[in-house]
Amino acid sequence: MADPLPTRWPQTTIFAAFLVVLALAPLPYGGNTPLAAAWLAVAMGGLVLLWAAAALLTPERLRLSRPVLFAMLASLLVLLWIWVQVRPDVVGLLPGLEAHPVWRAVAGRGGQLEPTIAIDPWGAREAVMRLLTVWAAFWLAFALAQEAGRARQLLTSLVVVGAVYAALGLGLHFAGIEYVLTEEKSWYRGDVTATFVNRNNYATYANLGLLAALGLLVEPFLAARSTDLRRRAAELLTTLTTRKALLLVATLLLATAMLLTHSRGGMLSGLAGILVLLLLALVAARPSLRAGLAGLVLALGLVAALVAYSGAGTLDRLAEIGGDANLAAGTRFAAYERALAMIAERPWIGHGFGGFAATFHLWRDERFHTFFDKLHNTWLEHAVELGLPAAVLLYLGPLVLVAACLRGVFRRRRDQIFPLVAVAASVTVGLHALVDFSLQIPAVAVTYAAVLGCGAAQAMPSARGRGRRGDPATAASPGGSMDRAVAAAA
């Protein structure tokens, strides 16, 4: 087998620009303004076009696995369905393709608008722009992180950028400055939000950087076996005070900032992701029972100590859940009940992508005194908008990719850290999406898409790994000259 194509400078330049765009995505306000979302869409779309041109002129190896192909097909079908929802000429074309009832009300008042399945076809266009931005971020990460060196640079960049935003948020918090950029806070005073408006959204963003940092910290154990776990642990403790000291500082900054958001969902989903990451790392390392239990106890002890130190406010808020007046009034759980009723009314065709706010306005009752533009449950919200079949397709693609990453953690002999972080990040964002809308914030969405794309790119066993699955010597010397020689001979 021939050697892989060498790294091409156009792709390297595009990759550097991609990292810059990811770094700037949280500016301003998590990218959650029309202008910020538009520039992010233009930047990601432009980079995809540049990548396509570079791939034609100076091709690099691109391996497309079946999970990635399936996810691409599912995404295309979802996009096609959204197009059907906003086209007036498809209404009545087939049984069940009915215009939204709101159009009958408009027609009854003399309106001249063309009816569509979607309640808000104009909102669908903006929602599609944001969705395509996320898919573009995934593709760029997947295509450019096929090389392990770039995958490592991507994770490292997310840690560095996340630590910078965490330091900014902590600095403002401890200085008592209640501002988000140039705007004074009207909500979440006393909480760390960095450049985000909502503490829950920032908590998810901080969790993504935190998981990347923890993954890089535990990476030495993935290459270990039960006989040398003690040596690897000693080496890690030594490097934490030398080469990995900055990584440890970044980890502490990100963890502290996340906990000081006082986001209950952020803390619980973050801890779930951390536990998944640590447990999978332990299982992948195949330690002895004694070493595994010791490592697990140590990890849980460190997490508990950090929560006790910086998460007291969040723990207090968790204790208030049962008596929270806002929840008792039904504003959130009642919204879920309304959403289920909306799904039951149009389970197959939905109310239109991007049209939740308009739909919910028609279904609200006396229990709601605030405007709900987001459901605080992204899974349910997309089911309301798309209908159940398309919503299943929307999430089935990423779930298949996560399953492929989980498989890659145990199939690969090296670089398992990338699919491992992708799995842990998916657990975190998936759980938090059950009670909030962080995944609908552009900066969070593109960052997660980059992590998942990186994990999917590195989830497949390399050609070299498949050719030498039983050779412990080459497995212990990643990137060495012997690897290249064996690959060339194969």
Report the DSSP beta bridge partners of residue 327: none
Does the pLDDT at position 196 exceed 70?
A: yes
CB 178 within 8 Å of CB 184: yes
Structure tokens at 360: 């919910």
Residue 16 Cα to chain centre, angstroms: 20
Mean pLDDT for 62-81 is 95
Mean confidence (pLDDT) of the chain: 84
pLDDT digits (tens, 9 = 90+) for 86-132: 999 898 888 889 999 888 877 666 555 789 999 999 999 999 999 99
* Residue at 387 is within a domain: yes
* Residue at 201 is within a domain: yes
Is the model more confident about 371 or about 460? 460
* Residue at 408 is within a domain: yes
* Residue at 475 is within a domain: no
At residue 260, the 3 state secondary structure works out as coil
Predicted local confidence at residue 253, as pLDDT: 95
Which residues span the domain enclosing 211?
9-319+374-461
* Confidence label for 320 from pLDDT (cuts 50, 70 and 90): low
* Confidence label for 284 from pLDDT (cuts 50, 70 and 90): confident
- Any idea what DSSP says for residue 120? -
Mean pLDDT for 139-145 is 97
Hunting for tokens 């969705």 — which residue is that? 131
Does the pLDDT at position 294 exceed 70?
A: no
Does the pLDDT at position 319 exceed 80?
A: no
430-433 contacts, C-beta under 8 A, 24 or more apart: 431/265, 431/268, 431/269, 431/272, 431/273, 432/200, 432/203, 432/204, 432/207, 432/265, 432/266, 432/269, 433/377, 433/378, 433/379
Residue 6: asked if its preceding bond is cis (omega within 30°), the reply is no
pLDDT digits (tens, 9 = 90+) for 217-267: 888 777 655 445 555 555 555 655 666 788 889 999 999 999 999 998 999
Predicted local confidence at residue 411, as pLDDT: 87
* Residue at 165 is within a domain: yes
Predicted local confidence at residue 230, as pLDDT: 58
The total number of structural domains that make up the chain? 1
pTM to 2 decimals? 0.87
Q: Which of 1, 7, 9 is nearest to 147 (CA)?
A: 7
Hunting for tokens 């449950």 — which residue is that? 377
* Residue at 294 is within a domain: yes
pLDDT digits (tens, 9 = 90+) for 385-440: 999 999 999 999 999 999 999 999 988 878 899 999 999 999 999 999 999 999 99
* Residue at 159 is within a domain: yes
* Residue at 77 is within a domain: yes
